[in-house]
Structure 1
């Protein structure tokens, strides 16, 4: 494989790979925020249930 062929392959494969990783990072950040909210909500719910059990 000569250098010209290699240079032609970079735009064909490099660009989609970069875009894929950018989208993956965006999705992971978005999912992390949603999991943080879910975790906080579940902890609050557990605390409320515990309070209900202890109140006579």
Structure 2
């Protein structure tokens, strides 16, 4: 959601509610990036373990 839409919501819902939603959106975006990194790293680790098992 764009910042302009949040600004339009301030008179309707109040400042604390709008700030809460902005923080929630920021946290969700940040957590998604961290989970994507974790997922990629775990896949790489699994591949390394599989390669290690196949070696004689």
User: What is the number of equivalent residue pairs in this alignment?
Assistant: 46
Instruction: Name the counterpart of 1:17.
Output: 17
Corresponding residue SS for 1:44: helix
C-alpha RMSD over aligned residues: 1.5
Shift of 1:14: 1.2
Shift of 1:41: 0.1
- TM-score normalised per structure 2: 0.76
Q: In 2, distance between residues paired with 1:55 and 1:31?
A: 36
Structure possessing the higher radius of gyration over alpha carbons: 1
Q: In 1, distance between residues paired with 2:46 and 2:29?
A: 26
Q: Over residues 1-56 of structure 1, what are the superposed CA-to-partner deviations in whole Å (9 max), with x where a residue is unaligned? A: xxxxxxxxx76x61100000000000000000000000000000000000000011
